[in-house]
Structure 1
Amino acid sequence: MLTTMPHRAFNAEAPRALKRLLDPLTLLLGVPTAVQTSLDAPAWPDPGREAHIVLHREFAEHGPCPLLHEEAALPMDGSAPTVLCPLGLTVRRFALPLGQGRTGLLTIGPYFKTPQERQALAQRSMAADAALAVLPCVPADRHGLLKNFYREFAAFAGTAAAAGAVKETFLANMSHELRTPLNGIMGMLSLLLQGELPDRQRQFLELAMDASNQLLGVVNDLLEMNNIATGRLELADEPFFLRRGLAPLFSACAEDAARRGLTFSATVDDDVPDALSGDLARLRQVLLNLIGNAVKFTQEGSVRVHIARDASPKGQEDVALRCRVRDTGVGIPAEKQQLIFERFAIGENFLNKRHAATGLGLSISKEIVEKMGGRLSLASAPGEGSEFTFTAQLRLSEPVRPTFFACQGAVIACAEDEPVSQLLMRSILEDQGYVALVADSALKLLDVLAGSRVDMVLMDMQLPEGGGLELAGRIRAGAGAATPADVPILGLSTATSAEEHEKWRAAGISGHILKPVTRQRLLDAVSQALARSRSTSNLKSEQA
Structure 2
Amino acid sequence: MSKGFKQRLSYRLTRDTVLVAMALGLVLNVIQITLDYFSAKESMEKEIHALIDISNSPASQIAYNIDVRLAEELLDGLLRHPATIDARITDNDNETMAAASKSSPVSSYRWVSDLLFGPDRVFRQELQVPQLEDLPLGNLIVTIDTYHYGAQFLQRAGYTLISGLLKSLILSAALLAIFYFVLTRPMLNVISALSQVQASTPEKVRLPIPANHREDEIGTMVGIINQHLETIDSSLAQLRHAESAMKNYSTQLEQEVADRTREISEKNEALQRGNRALVKAKEDAVRRARARANFLASMSHEIRTPLNGVLGMLGLALEGELDPAQRNRMEIALNAGESLLGLLNDILDISKVEAGKLSLENIPFSVRHLIEECATLHAQQARRKQILLVTEVDPDLPENFLGDPTRVRQVLNNLLSNAIKFTDEGSVRIRAAYSGGSLRIDVVDTGIGMSKEGLHRIFSPFSQADVDTTRLYGGTGLGLTLCRQLVERMHGQILVDSREGSGTHFTVTLPLPIHETYGAQDLPRVDPRLKDIGIAMAIPADNPYRSAIEAQLRKWGIPIRGASRDPDGILLALASAEDKETLEFANDWQGPGVILADATGTLPPGKANHQLLSLPLRRDELLRCLGLAAGLVHSDDQHAHRAETIDQNAAEPSLSILLVEDNQVNQLVATSLLKKLGHRAEPAENGLKALQALENNHYDLVLMDCQMPVMDGYEATQRIRQNPEWQQLPIIAVTANVMQGDREDCLASGMNDYITKPYKREELRAVIERWRPSDSAEVSGR
TM-score, normalised by the number of residues in structure 1: 0.63
Q: Who is 1:290 aligned against?
A: 415
Structure 1 residue 262 displacement after superposition: 2.6
Distance 1:445 1:345, change over 3 A: same
**Given residue 739 of structure 2, which amino acid in structure 1 is its aligned partner?**
S
1:373 aligns with 2:491: yes
Distance 1:362 1:144, change over 3 A: same
Structure 1 residue 339 displacement after superposition: 0.8
Q: Who is 2:771 aligned against?
A: 530
1:451-502, Cα deviation, whole Å (9 max, x unpaired): 55544432221233322222222333337x4xx5234432222222222222
Structure 1 residue 256 displacement after superposition: 2.2
Q: Who is 1:233 aligned against?
A: 358
**Given residue 771 of structure 2, which amino acid in structure 1 is its aligned partner?**
L
1:252 aligns with 2:252: no
Q: Who is 2:436 aligned against?
A: 311
1:217-262, Cα deviation, whole Å (9 max, x unpaired): 3322332232233222222345556566666544321122223323
1:409 aligns with 2:653: yes
**Given residue 382 of structure 1, which amino acid in structure 2 is its aligned partner?**
E
1:468 aligns with 2:710: no
1:161-212, Cα deviation, whole Å (9 max, x unpaired): 1122222222222212211111111112222233443322222122212322
Q: Who is 1:20 aligned against?
A: none
Could you tell me which of 731, 734, 740 is aligned with 1:492? 734
Aligned partner of residue 288 in structure 1, secondary structure: helix
Q: Who is 2:760 aligned against?
A: 518
Distance 1:338 1:436, change over 3 A: farther
Q: Contact 2:659–2:681 (CA<8 Å) still a contact in 1?
A: yes
Q: Which moved more, 1:405-414 or 1:506-515?
A: 405-414
Q: Which moved more, 1:177-186 or 1:417-426?
A: 417-426
Q: Contact 1:330–1:382 (CA<8 Å) still a contact in 2?
A: yes
1:83-136, Cα deviation, whole Å (9 max, x unpaired): xxxxxxxxxxxxxxxxxxxxxxxxxxxxxxxxxxxxxxxxxxxxxxxxxxxxxx
Could you tell me which of 284, 287, 295 is aligned with 1:159? 284
* Structure 1 CA distance for aligned equivalents of residues 393 and 693 of structure 2: 45
Aligned partner of residue 466 in structure 1, secondary structure: coil
**Given residue 354 of structure 1, which amino acid in structure 2 is its aligned partner?**
L
Unaligned runs of 5+ residues in structure 2 are 1-262, 519-644, 777-782
Structure 1 residue 372 displacement after superposition: 1.5
Q: Contact 1:407–1:432 (CA<8 Å) still a contact in 2?
A: no
Q: Who is 2:46 aligned against?
A: none
* Structure 1 CA distance for aligned equivalents of residues 714 and 278 of structure 2: 38
* Structure 2 CA distance for aligned equivalents of residues 167 and 150 of structure 1: 25
Could you tell me which of 410, 420, 425 is aligned with 2:665? 420
**Given residue 733 of structure 2, which amino acid in structure 1 is its aligned partner?**
G
Q: Which moved more, 1:160-169 or 1:187-196?
A: 187-196
What pairs up with 1:335-374 in 2 under 5 angstroms?
Answer: 335-374=453-492
**Given residue 720 of structure 2, which amino acid in structure 1 is its aligned partner?**
I
Q: Contact 1:413–1:436 (CA<8 Å) still a contact in 2?
A: yes
Distance 1:227 1:180, change over 3 A: same
Q: Who is 2:335 aligned against?
A: 210
* Structure 2 CA distance for aligned equivalents of residues 247 and 474 of structure 1: 46
Q: Contact 2:687–2:715 (CA<8 Å) still a contact in 1?
A: no
1:16-48, Cα deviation, whole Å (9 max, x unpaired): xxxxxxxxxxxxxxxxxxxxxxxxxxxxxxxxx
* Structure 2 CA distance for aligned equivalents of residues 240 and 410 of structure 1: 31
* Structure 1 CA distance for aligned equivalents of residues 364 and 413 of structure 2: 20
Q: Which moved more, 1:382-391 or 1:454-463?
A: 454-463
Structure 1 residue 267 displacement after superposition: 5.3
* Structure 1 CA distance for aligned equivalents of residues 347 and 451 of structure 2: 27
* Structure 1 CA distance for aligned equivalents of residues 404 and 440 of structure 2: 15
1:131-150, Cα deviation, whole Å (9 max, x unpaired): xxxxxxxx945444443332
Structure 1 residue 341 displacement after superposition: 0.5
Could you tell me which of 306, 316, 323 is aligned with 1:198? 323
* Structure 2 CA distance for aligned equivalents of residues 456 and 239 of structure 1: 29
1:328 aligns with 2:328: no
* Structure 2 CA distance for aligned equivalents of residues 258 and 269 of structure 1: 24
Structure 1 residue 346 displacement after superposition: 1.5
Q: Contact 1:407–1:434 (CA<8 Å) still a contact in 2?
A: no
Give me the identity figure in percent: 35
Distance 1:430 1:328, change over 3 A: farther
1:361-400, Cα deviation, whole Å (9 max, x unpaired): 211121111112211221222222222222335563789x
Could you tell me which of 171, 177, 182 is aligned with 2:296? 171
Q: Who is 1:502 aligned against?
A: 744
1:401-442, Cα deviation, whole Å (9 max, x unpaired): x99779823524332222222232233333334444443332
Q: Contact 1:232–1:497 (CA<8 Å) still a contact in 2?
A: no
Higher helix share: 2
Aligned partner of residue 486 in structure 1, secondary structure: coil
**Given residue 443 of structure 2, which amino acid in structure 1 is its aligned partner?**
V
Q: Contact 2:705–2:713 (CA<8 Å) still a contact in 1?
A: yes
Aligned partner of residue 386 in structure 2, secondary structure: coil
* Structure 1 CA distance for aligned equivalents of residues 398 and 683 of structure 2: 40
Number of aligned positions between the proteins: 384
**Given residue 465 of structure 2, which amino acid in structure 1 is its aligned partner?**
G
Structure 1 residue 360 displacement after superposition: 1.6
TM-score, normalised by the number of residues in structure 2: 0.45
Q: Who is 2:34 aligned against?
A: none
* Structure 2 CA distance for aligned equivalents of residues 478 and 250 of structure 1: 49
Structure 1 residue 276 displacement after superposition: 5.0
Aligned partner of residue 414 in structure 1, secondary structure: strand
Aligned partner of residue 341 in structure 1, secondary structure: coil
Q: Contact 1:413–1:438 (CA<8 Å) still a contact in 2?
A: yes
1:385 aligns with 2:503: yes
Task: Considering Cα pairs closer than 8 Å and 6+ residues apart, tell me whether 1 or 2 has the greater RCO.
Answer: 1
Distance 1:355 1:326, change over 3 A: same
* Structure 2 CA distance for aligned equivalents of residues 397 and 421 of structure 1: 43
* Structure 1 CA distance for aligned equivalents of residues 715 and 485 of structure 2: 34
**Given residue 252 of structure 1, which amino acid in structure 2 is its aligned partner?**
L
